[in-house]
């Protein structure tokens, strides 16, 4: 029995023009999703499920389809124009942030888009957290990461960030280890990008909020593999 089309056929045969266009744009969407994951890499191990890469790429593809200015196969990934597709994204689809953490809180972006402050008034964890069995402590996380729009480069034939110098910049702040059985003090976490950088209209700042659970043993804190949660709370 004959096999499928060869790589050369897919690359050159006019019959596979649509396939080449789809592959090209898919590659650009994958790069955009990868940039977001790299910017938040220090949080991904404990916060993300095994399918987060595919789920982010799918969202980037929805953003890609919104570009009506370029030809098929070269449409840009203009996150800055439709950031609502990413707002509320859960990094672990099995553990939602809102289902884990329901304490009142506010996020205040800086006027120059280079920082964000998370404020959480004092609260009783037993009333506002979904605490995994065995957990003794938790940490609250406020993180920001810059993601650039991506566009097709006609010279290199690949997708590239429009603002490479800003893309993947990050700042992540953690609260102290807080006991799960004691009322907390007020928590205020300000994440500030180094520099500071000058933002442009071709980037978005992704603001995530997360919670990690730990077990304390002999003054050492061991992070739980499950029960942690993080979502994209704001984009600015």
Does residue 187 carry a pLDDT above 70? yes
pLDDT value of residue 89: 98
Share of the chain above pLDDT 70, in %: 90
Close Cβ partners of 92 (under 8 Å, ≥ 6 residues apart): 47, 48, 49, 52, 228, 229, 230
Rg (CA), the chain: 21
How many other β-carbons are positioned within 10 Å of the β-carbon of residue 35? 23
Angle at 86 between CA 143 and CA 54, to 5 degrees: 100
Question: Is residue 173 within 8 Å of 116, Cβ to Cβ?
Answer: no
pLDDT of residue 137: 98
Assess whether pLDDT exceeds 90 at residue 31.
yes
Query: Quick one: pLDDT at residue 73?
Result: 86
pTM of the model: 0.90
Q: Which residue has the tokens 């690949």?
A: 158
pLDDT of residue 71: 81
- pLDDT of amino acid 13: 45
User: Nearest CA to 162 among 85, 91, 81, 87?
Assistant: 81
Distance of CA 51 to the CA centre of its chain: 13
Please state, rounded to an integer, the average pLDDT across all residues of the chain: 92
For CA atoms 95, 146, 104, 82, the dihedral sign is negative
Token couple for 36: 């977001």
> Are 78 and 67 in contact, with CB atoms under 8 Å apart?
yes
- pLDDT (tens digit per residue) in 32-43: 999 999 999 999
Residue 157 has a pLDDT of 87
Q: Is the pLDDT of residue 9 over 50?
A: no
Report how far apart, in Å, the C-alpha atoms of 45 and of each of 112, 178, 225 are.
Answer: 30, 21, 9
């Amino acid at each position: 029995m004959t096999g499928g089309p060869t790589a050369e056929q897919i690359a050159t045969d006019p019959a596979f023009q649509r396939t080449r266009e789809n592959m090209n744009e898919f590659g650009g969407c994958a790069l955009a999703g990868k940039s977001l994951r790299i910017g938040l890499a220090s949080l991904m191990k404990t916060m993300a499920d095994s399918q987060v890469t595919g789920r982010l790429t799918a969202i980037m593809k929805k953003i890609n389809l919104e570009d009506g200015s370029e030809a098929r196969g070269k449409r840009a990934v203009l996150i800055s124009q439709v950031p609502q597709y990413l707002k509320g994204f859960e990094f672990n689809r099995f553990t939602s942030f809102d289902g884990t953490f329901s304490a009142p809180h506010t996020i205040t972006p800086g006027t120059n888009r280079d920082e964000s402050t998370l404020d959480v008034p004092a609260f009783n964890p037993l009333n506002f957290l979904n605490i995994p069995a065995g957990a003794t402590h938790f940490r609250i996380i406020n993180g920001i990461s810059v993601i650039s729009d991506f566009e097709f480069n006609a010279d290199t034939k690949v997708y590239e960030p429009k603002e490479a110098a800003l893309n993947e910049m990050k700042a992540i702040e953690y609260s102290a280890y807080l006991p799960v059985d004691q009322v907390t003090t007020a928590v205020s976490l300000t994440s500030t990008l180094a520099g500071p950088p000058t933002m442009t209209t071709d980037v978005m700042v992704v603001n995530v909020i997360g919670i990690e659970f730990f077990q304390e043993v002999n003054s050492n804190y061991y992070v739980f593999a499950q029960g942690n949660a993080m979502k994209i709370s704001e984009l600015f």
